Amino acid sequence: MALDGIVTRAIVHELEACKGARINKIYQPNERDIVLHIRTQNGNAKLLLSANPTYPRVHLTDESFVNPAEAPMFCMLMRKHCESGVIEEITQVGMERIIHIRVRQRDELGDISSKMIIIELMGRHSNIILTDPSTGTILDGIHHVTPAISSYRVIMPGFAYTEPPQQNKLNPLETDQEQFREACLLNSEEPVTWLVSSFSGMSPLAAQEITHRARPAADTEGLPAEKDCGRLWSAFSEIMDQIRNNKFTPMAGVNGKGKLVFSVIPLTMLTEETKSYDTVSHCLEDYYGDKAQRDTVKQKVSDLLRFLQNERSKNIKKLDNLNKDLEEAGDADKYRISGELLFASLHMINKGDKEVELVNFYDEDQQVITIPLDPLLSPSDNAQRYFKKYNKYKNSLAVINEQLIKTREEINYIENLLQQLSHASMNDIDEIRDELVQQGYLRDRDRSRKARKKKKNDKPTLHMYTSSEGIEIYVGKNNLQNEYVTNRLASSNDTWLHTKDIPGSHVVIRSDSFGEDTLQEAAQLAAYYSQAKESSSVPVDYTLIRHVRKPSGSKPGFVIYDHQKTLFVTPDDQLIKSLPNVIKNQRN
Residue type, 98: I
What domains can be seen in the chain, in order of their start residue? 5-141 (2.30.310.10), 177-288 (1.10.8), 296-421 (1.10.287), 449-584 (no CATH)
Q: Is the pLDDT of residue 588 over 60?
A: no
3-state secondary structure of 139: strand
Least confident of 117-131, 391-405, 448-462: 448-462
Confidence of residue 445 (pLDDT cuts 50, 70, 90): low
Q: How far is CA 390 from CA 333, 339, 361, 384, 524, in A?
A: 7, 9, 19, 10, 54
Helix spans in 254-378 (H): 280-288, 291-329, 332-344
Q: What is the chain's mean pLDDT, rounded?
A: 87
Q: For residues 518-540, give the mean pLDDT.
A: 93
Q: Angle 124-126-132 (CA atoms, 0-180°, nearest 5)?
A: 155
pLDDT for the residue numbered 458: 62
Least confident of 191-205, 323-337, 403-417, 470-484: 323-337
Confidence of residue 67 (pLDDT cuts 50, 70, 90): confident
pLDDT for the residue numbered 302: 83
Q: Is the pLDDT of residue 553 over 50?
A: yes
Distance from C-alpha of 151 to C-alpha of 134, rounded to nearest angstrom: 24
Confidence of residue 224 (pLDDT cuts 50, 70, 90): very low
Confidence of residue 585 (pLDDT cuts 50, 70, 90): low
| Tens digit of each residue's pLDDT (9 = 90 or more) over 352-406 | 989 998 888 887 778 888 989 999 999 999 999 988 888 887 878 878 888 898 8
| Residues sharing a CB contact under 8 Å with residue 80, sequence separation 6 or more, in sequence order | none
Distance from C-alpha of 457 to C-alpha of 356, rounded to nearest angstrom: 69
330 or 132, which is more confident: 132
Q: Is the pLDDT of residue 447 over 70?
A: no
Q: Is the pLDDT of residue 438 over 80?
A: yes
Q: Is the pLDDT of residue 221 over 70?
A: no
Confidence of residue 96 (pLDDT cuts 50, 70, 90): very high
Q: Is the pLDDT of residue 174 over 80?
A: yes
Confidence of residue 459 (pLDDT cuts 50, 70, 90): confident
pLDDT for the residue numbered 368: 87
Q: Is the pLDDT of residue 226 over 60?
A: no
pLDDT for the residue numbered 254: 87
124 or 138, which is more confident: 138
151 or 567, which is more confident: 567
Distance from C-alpha of 212 to C-alpha of 123, rounded to nearest angstrom: 27
3-state secondary structure of 151: coil
Sort strands 251-254 and 260-263 into parallel, antiparallel or unpaired.
antiparallel
pLDDT for the residue numbered 446: 55
| Tens digit of each residue's pLDDT (9 = 90 or more) over 5-53 | 999 999 999 999 999 999 999 999 888 899 999 999 889 999 999 998 8
Q: Is the pLDDT of residue 426 over 80?
A: no
Identify whether the C-beta of residue 119 lies closer than 8 Å to the C-beta of residue 49: yes
Predicted TM-score of the model (pTM): 0.65
524 or 107, which is more confident: 524
Q: For residues 87-113, give the mean pLDDT.
A: 90
Q: Is the pLDDT of residue 290 over 90?
A: no
Give the distance between the most distant pair of CA atoms in the chain. Answer: 118
